[in-house]
Chains A and B, each alone.
Chain A
Amino acid sequence: DARVTQTPRHKVTEMGQEVTMRCQPILGHNTVFWYRQTMMQGLELLAYFRNRAPLDDSGMPKDRFSAEMPDATLATLKIQPSEPRDSAVYFCASGSGQGSNEQFFGPGTRLTVL
């Protein structure tokens, strides 16, 4: 059945390194969301796209984070340079945007920055 996929599932990196997380939304969905989950902050919305255009990235630290949708089947979230405080689980979700706010979440990327 249709699912949101995310790669990698786990990433361990050292402070200062670039990290790229990828998401493949469900085919036909036109809205894509990036969330971050930590024990302290819970689930937070970082950015979202509609029809590949960024609509809101106010939840994202602009100096080091960037989100893009090179095409309708790929969304990326990059952190450069990474810091230990970026350690979290990053979830991608997609939605059809057809009058419902039902979102389908991927399994997440668990990022550890040493």
Chain B
Amino acid sequence: QQQVKQSPQSLIVQKGGISIINCAYENTAFDYFPWYQQFPGKGPALLIAIRPDVSEKKEGRFTISFNKSAKQFSLHIMDSQPGDSATYFCAALYNFNKFYFGSGTKLNVKP
């Protein structure tokens, strides 16, 4: 049973558009929610993260929106660029020690 559910599996966006990836969780003990970006042949790299006492966090073109009551969070990529084409994973931290990951979203930004 997947602890963190991520959608969509794949996403195609035109250059300059907004990419939106969604995640949902059930375990209210999760207390830290990062997003990772992975390029082919590389390990995932931390992109941006949020704690549940905050509803939104923005870093450059990347924004996390967090809805604690709905147990959902999402990644928004504004002004998407071809260089953003990668696989994105959401994750949730349990017990300060273990991350549970979503299944990943493959983003393709077309020029």
Q: Do A and B bind each other?
A: no
B interface residues with partner A (beta carbon < 8 Å): none
